[in-house]
Structure 1
Amino acid sequence: MSVPAPAVSESFRREVERRRTFAIISHPDAGKTTLTEKTLLYAGAIELAGAVKGRASQRAVVSDWMDIERERGISITSAALEFELHGCRVTLLDTPGHKDFSEDTYRTLLAADSVVMVIDAAKGIETQTRKLFEVASRRKLPMLTFVNKLDLPGRDPLDLLDEIERVLGVSAAPMNWPIGTGDRFKGVFDLRRQEVLFYERIARSARRAPVTVTGADDPALVDLLGEQARDELLEGVHLLEAAGTAFDLDAYRAGRQTAVFFGSALTNFGLESFLEALVQYAPCPGLREDAEGNLVDPMRQDFSGFVFKIQANMNPRHRDRVAFVRVCTGTLTKDMQVVNTRLQQNVRLSRPSRFFGRDRETIEEAFPGDVVGLVNPGRFGIGDTLYAGQPVVYPPIPHFPAEHFGALRLQDVRFKQFDDGVRQLEEEGLMQVVFPIHGARYPILGVVGALQFDIIEARMKEEYGVACRVEKLSYVAARWVEAEAGVRLTLPNNVLSTTDRQERRVLLFPSEWDLQFCERENPNVRFLAMA
């Protein structure tokens, strides 16, 4: 069932149709953050890779704005970057590649309308790439693929296309074709425009213009490339013509096909045609399901959106908390009153902001597809729906069950800062927090990936000035207990009883065997992986 959209102004429709909101996903070290930076450079949003425009001395990665990200060289939190590109308003959502932060990536994908997948030409489809693709595929998000690092030794491009189709289960339509690889890499042949784009191993500002030819068999290619490179190109193109997949816009938009581009993000090579295709083919905001399965039209006049991320301390001087909202319908305006469906309370949206990594700018209005930051005084939570006018509720955002557990031990006497830090990092969804029922009431953290413990220790020190350490515990699962009043549980001695902040009982199990034993011995009790 579709919720109809009343007539809207032509200017509003134009604003929606020029929005492009996409997330970038990849396995670590495939070049995702480099592609993000070079996209910003190409769009004119930054002057030097890693420097916000107008701040040329600031040579740090824009999307990796946290100190710990810069120290470790990995993305640990999603970043929103908004800019203009070829007449479109683009919101780029840079996601963590490391598996231990996959929950943040999952939430961010819920806010995207399409996806860019980055693949290392030497490694192909890696574990985390496949997992993130599966998340995007379940949402039927259109996906463009950028095969990166063509200037380094890599695998045969036909093998890479075959692996994409075999492992991911989608057809792969090459949009250009590499001419050699590694030391023999000469450029790419644009299959749509029948152009050769040359790769130059000289100053990056000095590039030869693309040369248009009649086809891969044009005799002029011998003079341009040399006979061996021309013959290899001709063989590859003939194979594609005989057995390859042609690009189909409808199949791409339906998530059944990915358009594949070959290039090198580090050297800016192949980036221009890739980004042109992104704004040309990637969809503007479309229909989105509400919690009851109805399709909500983005052209609906009344505002609605949902909170998909909360981040503390984006401005270290003010210790603020920001709720990131994906606008789904209507227009969000500064100071408007909306309803938070979880609280069933009115909330005033003062000082909404657009983001560029850590930097922000107060805005007067935002449209479907935009990602807006709202100062969060504790009235927003991940998954909250906000609306004005006609009520709508979007589906809740699920949490991932914790797989690693540890006791967070304070190493000094800054108790208030310790409590504030734990509460605010929990609000971000970085961890689950429970407290033992018996004995000292210290926080026990549950996280998806063990690396998150290191991040928590570092952020508590850097952002809250608190020295603490995580003492790892040998539990493998947490279960919230749902039972009738008065029901007595039969539990092994090694199962730890705790409560969460809402005083709901949570059991921590040292093994799967203990969990299964409790489920058998307590048939009238439900053990829930998430509250």
Structure 2
Amino acid sequence: MFVRNNEGKTRVNSNLIKQIQKRRTFAIISHPDAGKTTITEKILLFGNVIQKAGTVKSRGSNQYVKSDWMKIEKKRGISVTTSVMQFPYKDCLINLLDTPGHKDFSEDTYRTLTAVDSCLMVIDAAKGIEDRTRKLIKITRLRKTPIITFVNKLDRDVQEPMEILDAIQNEIGACTPISWPIGYGKRFRGLYHIHRNETILYKSGHGHEIRKTHVIKDLYNLDLDKAIGKDLAENTREELELIINAYPKFDQNHFLASKLTPVYFGTALGNFGVDYILDGLTKWAPPPRFHQANERLVKASEEKFSGFVFKIQANMDHKHHDRIAFIRIVSGKYLRGMKINHVRINKIIGADAVVFIAGCRKRAEQAYPGDIIGLHNHGTIKIGDTFTQGEKLKFSGIPNFAPEFLRRICLKEPLKQKQLLRALIHLSEEGAIQIFRPLQNNDLIVGAIGTLQFDVVVERLKIEYNVEIIYKDINAITARWIESENSRKLEEFKNKNRANLALDSGGNLSYIAPTMLNLNLVRERFPNIEFYSTREH
């Protein structure tokens, strides 16, 4: 980026470049129960966000994982929404996005991946790569997002580490171990860091704190034989000689091109090996670089501010029923009070943003590319919206997915219809559920990717809006968004299929299909009509 000085000459805005180079914006992805939320907590411990780790799961406790701030998350012990946390680590500023692990909340994860520059993939060493992880790998491959891998739970009975490496290599293309476990399960004694040529000995019972580790330099140091036993030391040396020759050396260009993943081993619960992941991430993961808009490629180093909304969260402050739009800054610098253009509605606003530490937030005085800021949303901001300093841009690739399950919603107290409608609009703006209103009646149909989302809606309506509902089954299996360039054919389609048509919360025409057979037959009968299972926000 260049700016004019008083003499009319151009100079690089070195402060902006410096701030960009400091940023690391990444998401944690995994299959449920792989330990994602636990590793998030330990990362926050190293970032000095919390002083003591430890998730207390008893109902009477008021201590919870820092990233799980919603009441339902605390009650059920699962993450159901993306949390954003910013903190310094060494010379970098980390923007960590902790995504839901459960498949029923996958669309929140998919949208979050559009806002990050790299990912930390957590694998359960006992189970290896599972289905949810495979799907997330495919999403990162489409966007060429670099992945750092952490193989977790080495202090339990696990698969052979070499088998896990082979599975990772089959999914990603290439992997290279950076650390290697010395034993596992009850015989887990520590890690050997290949790049540092040092062994770090493990001692259980210190997972809640940062402790001073016992380090032995050099793999062939006789102190290692004394510390872990000669047989285990010799076995470790033989394993390492094999894997160092069998797997490629780390190549940062291949990593940045999403063709190779560095692999770390450890135990998040024991807080062992987590700091090495952070060291690798700050050293190798890319700073903010660019994002693709429909109009052009936007570089992080450009002078003017731009950013896009990838998430909306209602009721982070239950007292005020507020809605916050999460914006990933793509280029330029945010300053409190600056004038920015809400491109979709072509409106200039004075920005007064916040930054996040999980459920906590504070006013942002300034922010840079890679940072996540929040704007108060009074119903005008939608997922996918762009904000700029004037230029009309639309950032691409922010998906909306057709629901896989549909239910009709009924009030226990019919007089609360207005409260219900307002609440459902708020929740649908988040993208967690979708609302459909049939053209032929006054029903309210809720669509979701997974059935657990229906339970979340019930609890959130009750807790956040004092509205109680029940669901009733309907004759519907999925929905598709309808478009056609032929207006006459579209009207013909609408006239003949009115009983199956509905409008979503954005006013988009949708076809509610009772069966997949019905959907396929209607497609054949109306070849001029497009049926979309995804659409851009």
* Class of the TM-score when normalised by the shorter of the 2 chains: over 0.9
- What one-letter code is carried by the residue in structure 2 that aligns with 1:209? H
Is 1:45 paired with 2:45?
A: no
* SS of equivalent residue, structure 2 residue 420: helix
Match of 2:281 in 1: 278
Deviation at 1:525, TM superposition (A): 3.1
Is 1:178 paired with 2:181?
A: yes
- What one-letter code is carried by the residue in structure 2 that aligns with 1:358? G
Question: Does the 8 A contact of 1:434 with 1:498 survive in 2?
Answer: yes
CA distance in 1: counterparts of 2:322 and 2:213, whole angstroms = 48
* SS of equivalent residue, structure 2 residue 127: coil
Question: Which one of the candidate residues 28, 32, 36 is aligned to 1:32?
Answer: 36
CA distance in 2: counterparts of 1:222 and 1:516, whole angstroms = 67
Match of 1:398 in 2: 399
For residues 407 and 277 of structure 1, do their structure 2 counterparts lie closer, same or farther at Cα, with a shift above 3 Å needed?
same
- What one-letter code is carried by the residue in structure 2 that aligns with 1:475? A
Question: Does the 8 A contact of 1:495 with 1:509 survive in 2?
Answer: no
- What one-letter code is carried by the residue in structure 2 that aligns with 1:459? R
Question: Which one of the candidate residues 210, 223, 227 is aligned to 2:215?
Answer: 210
Question: Does the 8 A contact of 1:490 with 1:518 survive in 2?
Answer: no
Is 1:85 paired with 2:89?
A: yes
Deviation at 1:274, TM superposition (A): 1.8
Question: Does the 8 A contact of 2:95 with 2:372 survive in 1?
Answer: yes
Match of 1:130 in 2: 134
Match of 2:373 in 1: 372
CA distance in 2: counterparts of 1:43 and 1:493, whole angstroms = 56
Deviation at 1:48, TM superposition (A): 1.8
Question: Does the 8 A contact of 1:25 with 1:32 survive in 2?
Answer: yes
Question: Does the 8 A contact of 1:291 with 1:396 survive in 2?
Answer: no
For residues 530 and 495 of structure 1, do their structure 2 counterparts lie closer, same or farther at Cα, with a shift above 3 Å needed?
farther
Match of 1:416 in 2: 418
CA distance in 2: counterparts of 1:141 and 1:503, whole angstroms = 33
* SS of equivalent residue, structure 1 residue 488: helix
CA distance in 2: counterparts of 1:392 and 1:503, whole angstroms = 23
- TM-score, scaled to structure 2: 0.92
Match of 2:524 in 1: 520
Is 1:383 paired with 2:392?
A: no
Deviation at 1:264, TM superposition (A): 0.6
CA distance in 2: counterparts of 1:24 and 1:126, whole angstroms = 15
CA distance in 2: counterparts of 1:240 and 1:298, whole angstroms = 38
List gaps (5 residues or longer) in structure 2.
Answer: 4-10, 56-60
Match of 2:172 in 1: 169
Counterparts of residues 6-21 of structure 1 (less than 5 Å):
7-21=11-25
* SS of equivalent residue, structure 2 residue 134: helix
Q: Bigger CA drift: 499-508 or 12-21?
A: 499-508
Match of 1:452 in 2: 453
Q: How big is each residue's C-alpha offset from its partner over 1:154-212, in whole Å with a ceiling of 9 and x where there is no partner?
A: 1111100001011x132111001111000001001111111110001355666542111
- Alpha-carbon RMSD: 2.1
Deviation at 1:147, TM superposition (A): 0.6
- What one-letter code is carried by the residue in structure 2 that aligns with 1:340? H
Match of 1:511 in 2: 515
Question: Which one of the candidate residues 298, 309, 312 is aligned to 1:310?
Answer: 312
Match of 1:95 in 2: 99
Deviation at 1:308, TM superposition (A): 0.4
Match of 1:112 in 2: 116
Match of 2:478 in 1: 477
Is 1:190 paired with 2:157?
A: no
For residues 436 and 461 of structure 1, do their structure 2 counterparts lie closer, same or farther at Cα, with a shift above 3 Å needed?
same
CA distance in 2: counterparts of 1:118 and 1:203, whole angstroms = 21
Question: Does the 8 A contact of 2:206 with 2:271 survive in 1?
Answer: no
For residues 14 and 472 of structure 1, do their structure 2 counterparts lie closer, same or farther at Cα, with a shift above 3 Å needed?
same
Identity %: 38
CA distance in 2: counterparts of 1:92 and 1:463, whole angstroms = 26
Q: How big is each residue's C-alpha offset from its partner over 1:404-425, in whole Å with a ceiling of 9 and x where there is no partner?
A: 1011111112222111101111
Match of 2:8 in 1: none
Deviation at 1:436, TM superposition (A): 2.0
CA distance in 2: counterparts of 1:113 and 1:5, whole angstroms = 24
* SS of equivalent residue, structure 1 residue 380: coil
CA distance in 2: counterparts of 1:237 and 1:528, whole angstroms = 50
Match of 1:443 in 2: 444
Match of 1:337 in 2: 339
List gaps (5 residues or longer) in structure 1.
Answer: 52-56
CA distance in 2: counterparts of 1:164 and 1:260, whole angstroms = 9
Question: Does the 8 A contact of 1:50 with 1:58 survive in 2?
Answer: no
* SS of equivalent residue, structure 1 residue 414: helix
Question: Does the 8 A contact of 2:114 with 2:397 survive in 1?
Answer: no
Question: Does the 8 A contact of 2:513 with 2:519 survive in 1?
Answer: yes
Match of 1:433 in 2: 435
CA distance in 1: counterparts of 2:252 and 2:481, whole angstroms = 46
- What one-letter code is carried by the residue in structure 1 that aligns with 2:322? D
Match of 2:6 in 1: none
Deviation at 1:329, TM superposition (A): 0.4
Question: Does the 8 A contact of 1:200 with 1:207 survive in 2?
Answer: no
- Give runs of ≥4 in structure 1 deviating > 6 Å: 490-494
Question: Does the 8 A contact of 1:8 with 1:299 survive in 2?
Answer: no
Question: Does the 8 A contact of 1:23 with 1:95 survive in 2?
Answer: yes
Q: How big is each residue's C-alpha offset from its partner over 1:366-387, in whole Å with a ceiling of 9 and x where there is no partner?
A: 1001000110111211000110
Deviation at 1:99, TM superposition (A): 0.7
What count of residue pairs does the alignment treat as equivalent?
517
CA distance in 1: counterparts of 2:342 and 2:216, whole angstroms = 56
Deviation at 1:442, TM superposition (A): 2.2
Question: Does the 8 A contact of 1:290 with 1:394 survive in 2?
Answer: yes
CA distance in 1: counterparts of 2:506 and 2:67, whole angstroms = 35
For residues 529 and 210 of structure 1, do their structure 2 counterparts lie closer, same or farther at Cα, with a shift above 3 Å needed?
same
Question: Does the 8 A contact of 2:176 with 2:247 survive in 1?
Answer: yes
CA distance in 1: counterparts of 2:509 and 2:302, whole angstroms = 42
Q: Bigger CA drift: 189-198 or 273-282?
A: 273-282
Question: Does the 8 A contact of 2:502 with 2:511 survive in 1?
Answer: yes
Deviation at 1:136, TM superposition (A): 1.2
Question: Does the 8 A contact of 1:171 with 1:257 survive in 2?
Answer: yes
Is 1:160 paired with 2:161?
A: no
Question: Does the 8 A contact of 1:145 with 1:261 survive in 2?
Answer: yes
Question: Which one of the candidate residues 481, 488, 492 is aligned to 2:492?
Answer: 488
- What one-letter code is carried by the residue in structure 2 that aligns with 1:513? L
CA distance in 1: counterparts of 2:100 and 2:374, whole angstroms = 19
Deviation at 1:503, TM superposition (A): 4.8
Q: How big is each residue's C-alpha offset from its partner over 1:473-492, in whole Å with a ceiling of 9 and x where there is no partner?
A: 23122133335247423999
Deviation at 1:8, TM superposition (A): 4.0
Deviation at 1:287, TM superposition (A): 2.1
Question: Which one of the candidate residues 250, 267, 272 is aligned to 1:269?
Answer: 272
Match of 2:7 in 1: none
* SS of equivalent residue, structure 2 residue 27: strand
CA distance in 1: counterparts of 2:507 and 2:40, whole angstroms = 43
For residues 87 and 437 of structure 1, do their structure 2 counterparts lie closer, same or farther at Cα, with a shift above 3 Å needed?
same
Deviation at 1:502, TM superposition (A): 5.3
